[in-house]
Amino acid sequence: MVMAEESESVPKKRWSCNAKEEALLVQCAELVLPYLTQSELANVSSTCKSLLKLSRAITLRRASDASRAFETLPVPFLNTIDAHPYAHFLYTRSLLLPSPLPLLPRQPWGSSVISPSSPTHLRAESVGFVDASGRAASGCDCEACAGPTCPCAGLDGMDDVGRECGPGCRCGPECGNRFTRNGLAVKVRIVRDEKKGWGLKADQFIAKGEFLFEYSGELLTTKEAQKRHQHYDELASRGGFSSALLVVREHLPSGKACLRLNIDATRIGNVARFVNHSCDGGNLSTKLVRSSGALFPRLCFFASKDIQVDEELTFSYGEIRKRPNGLPCFCNSPSCFGTLPSENT
Ligand X SMILES: C[S@@+](CC[C@H](N)C(=O)[O-])C[C@H]1O[C@@H](n2cnc3c(N)ncnc32)[C@H](O)[C@@H]1O
Query: What are the residues binding ligand X (CB under 6 A)?
Result: 87, 195-199, 242-244, 273-274, 276-277, 327, 329-331, 340
How far apart are the C-alpha atoms of 196 and 243, rounded to whole Å? 12
Cα distance between residue 246 and residue 180, in whole Å: 19
As measured in angstroms, the least distance from the Cβ of 195 to ligand X is: 6
Nearer to ligand X, 262 or 276 (CB): 276
- Contact assessment for residue 97 and residue 121, using Cβ atoms and an 8 Å cutoff: yes
Of 179 and 330, which has the nearer Cβ to ligand X?
Answer: 330
DSSP 17: -
Q: Minimum distance from CB of 7 to ligand X (Å)?
A: 42
Smallest gap from residue 278 Cβ to ligand X (A): 6
Least distance to ligand X, CB of residue 275, Å = 6
| Residue number, 302 or 317, with CB nearest to ligand X | 317
Distance of alpha carbon 216 from alpha carbon 95, whole angstroms: 5
> Which of 105, 101, 114 shows the shortest CA–CA distance to 68?
114
Between 70 and 274, CB nearer to ligand X? 274
Report the alpha-carbon distance of residue 246 to residue 298 in Å, rounded.
12
Measured at CB, which residue is nearest to ligand X?
Answer: 197
Best CA proximity match to 200, nearest among 108, 278, 305: 278
Apex 30 CA angle, 28 and 32, nearest 5:
70
Query: Closer CB to ligand X, residue 254 or residue 325?
Result: 325
- Beta carbon nearer to ligand X, 108 or 199: 199
For residue 291, give the H/E element and its range. Answer: strand 284-291
Helix, strand, or coil here: 85? Answer: coil
Closest CB 249 distance from ligand X, rounded Å: 18
Nearer to ligand X, 67 or 177 (CB): 67
Q: C-beta of 301: minimal distance to ligand X in Å?
A: 12
Determine the residue type at 324: P
Q: How many CB atoms lie within 10 A of CB 200?
A: 24
CB crowding 314-343: b at 16 or more within 10 Å, else e: bbbbbebeeeeeeeebebeeeebeebbbbe
Q: Work out how close the CB of 193 gets to ligand X at its nearest, in angstroms, rounded to a whole number.
A: 7
Q: In the complex, what is the shortest distance from the CB of residue 73 to ligand X, in angstroms, rounded to a whole number?
A: 19
Q: Judged by CB, which is closer to ligand X: 87, or 320?
A: 87
